[in-house]
Structure 1
């Protein structure tokens, strides 16, 4: 089975991975988990042992979030825009997610197909 590169956590200030919608002034959040969500049962992304734990730990320590791998520039379809991973947002309440929700709100977008 071909190994898929592991998803990365969004980096602050990285314009290439902005989940912000400049027209609506809100952050994009997937409306549901994508088909290969890193939080889905069965390790559909074939992450190495401990990698999911590391991604979650880093995002939580930074009080940030995880960007859905299906919406990252090297994975996504041309029409897809970076969006916050629904699997992460449904499980964790970081400072960034709370601030976005209270100050601006989210615009829910469907996962790319």
Structure 2
């Protein structure tokens, strides 16, 4: 995906990559957020695949089934979605008790 790639278009599979600190355990929760900008700001997130690796560490993969619109004009009328497969409940993530070790901010505009 290059500089001129048009992200978040209907039917596209978009790929992002980034770096973050080494993790002590597997990724077990993910929160995806839309900034709500653009003339067609709403988008549907089917799933997110996360692959992690590091020095002297094999690859680990996790699939998060989001299956939600990120829009203010479509149910559930939210610009964020939390998918949590952690052994504790969402309240800890929402309250900030669980440390967020990295984030990916995606800004969309059309």
Determine which structure has more spread, i.e. the larger CA radius of gyration.
2
**Structure with a larger share of its residues in strand:** 2
Using structure 1 for the length normalisation, give the TM-score: 0.27
Using structure 2 for the length normalisation, give the TM-score: 0.27
**Structure with a larger share of its residues in helix:** 1
Q: Which has the higher contact order (CA 8 A, sep 6+)?
A: 1
